Amino acid sequence: MPKVHDLERRRGLGILGKRLFDPELWHLNRQSVSTAFAVGLFVTWLPMPAQMLVAGAVAIMLRCNLPISVALVWVSNPVTQPALLLFAYQLGTWLLGAPAEVMAFQISWEWFRVRIGQIWAPLLLGSLVAGVVCGFLGWAGMQLIWRWHVVQRWERRRNVRRLRAIMAAKREEVGRPDVPERDEAVK
């Protein structure tokens, strides 16, 4: 992660305001990363342009990790976006109890203008529900992974302490206190 004082020295970033230089936006801790996952995965499902700007603004408001929030938006990229939108539309029609219309998609302003009246409600509802579910799963998943990682580090330290105690007892037993404390086998 970049250092805040390095960011402050970059030309052009000052126009974004002092909130961009909040250290909380750049730290990697459990709460910041988990919230960033929730923000990024929620915004991924929003059917709108400029998702990165929205994720960045929400990350700044919630004071969570900015780079992770913005990077996760790229789950919905030009390759995956059609599948995500189709899933959100079908989820929305299912939740509304309306029949899903199968329509030929065309990349044109005319198609969008004609069809938006038919698809906006199920698409928006499906997108919001999928966003909330994915955001929560991302948050909970990061909480669990972070906790698992911390427990693994505690276990490793406890095992090293036990091994050092055993090695110290062996040195005392053999009567060789001149052997250095940090044995290569312990490392």
67 lies in some domain: yes
Q: Is residue 179 part of a domain?
A: no
- Of the candidates 101, 135, 134, the one whose C-alpha atom is nearest the C-alpha of residue 117 is 101
The reply to whether 182 falls in a domain is: no
Spell out a b/e string for 79-90, using b for 16 or more CB atoms within 10 Å of the CB, else e: eeeeebbeebbe
Give per-residue pLDDT as tens, 103-159: 666 666 777 777 777 888 888 999 999 999 999 999 999 999 999 999 999 999 999
Q: Are 52 and 86 in contact (CB under 8 A)?
A: no
Structural domain contains residue 154: yes
* Residue 185 covered by a domain: no
What is d(CA 52, CA 95) in angstroms, rounded to the nearest whole number?
28
Among 116, 118, 84, 113, smallest CA distance to 101 is for 118
In-domain check, residue 186: no
Spatial distance between the Cα atoms of 45 and 131, rounded to a whole number of angstroms: 5
- pLDDT of 8 higher than 60: no
pLDDT the model gives residue 113: 77
> Could you tell me if residue 180 is inside a domain?
no
Tell me the two tokens of residue 67.
């780079």
Closest CA to 66 of 7, 128, 14, 150: 7
pTM of the predicted model over 0.75: no
pLDDT at 15: 47
Instruction: Work out how many domains the chain is built from and give that number.
Output: 1
Range(s) of the domain holding residue 136: 4-174
Residue 109 lies in a domain: yes
